[in-house]
């Protein structure tokens, strides 16, 4: 069963040679976007500097465009998390990306 913090788009696939600017839908419209982090599921290692090295997230209502995701390793899964503020709450939603060959 998916966590309530997992975005509605769910698990996604991305090829090792692809560069994708993912768009996700948050449950609420954010007041501000704080940070985006990418963690390798298998090593529990923050790999943001390698796979999402530049750019920042932007939002139009609850639809958020993330910085380009690239340089993934085939066979690995990554947790892409977005920290944001809505009202007086700081929330974190995420999705999983499975890298294929």
Is the pLDDT at 2 greater than 80, yes or no?
A: no
Answer yes or no: are the C-beta atoms of 55 and 67 closer than 8 Å.
yes
pLDDT at 62: 92
pLDDT, tens digit (0-9, with 9 covering 90-100), for 7-45: 888 899 999 999 999 999 998 899 999 999 999 988 889
Domains identified in the chain and CATH numbers: 12-100 (2.60.40.1220)
- 6-33 exposure pattern, b = at least 16 Cβ within 10 A, e = fewer: bbeeeebebeeeeeeebebebeeebeeb
pLDDT, tens digit (0-9, with 9 covering 90-100), for 76-95: 999 999 999 999 999 999 99
């Amino acid at each position: 069963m998916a966590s309530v913090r997992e975005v509605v788009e769910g698990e996604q696939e991305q090829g090792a040679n692809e560069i994708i600017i993912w768009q996700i839908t948050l449950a609420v419209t954010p007041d501000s976007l704080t940070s985006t982090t990418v963690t390798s599921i298998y090593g529990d290692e923050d790999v943001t500097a390698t796979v999402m090295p530049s750019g920042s997230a932007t939002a139009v209502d609850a639809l958020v465009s993330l910085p380009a995701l690239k340089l993934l390793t085939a066979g690995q899964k990554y947790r892409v998390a977005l920290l944001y503020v809505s009202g007086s709450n700081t929330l974190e939603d995420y999705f999983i990306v499975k890298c294929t060959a």
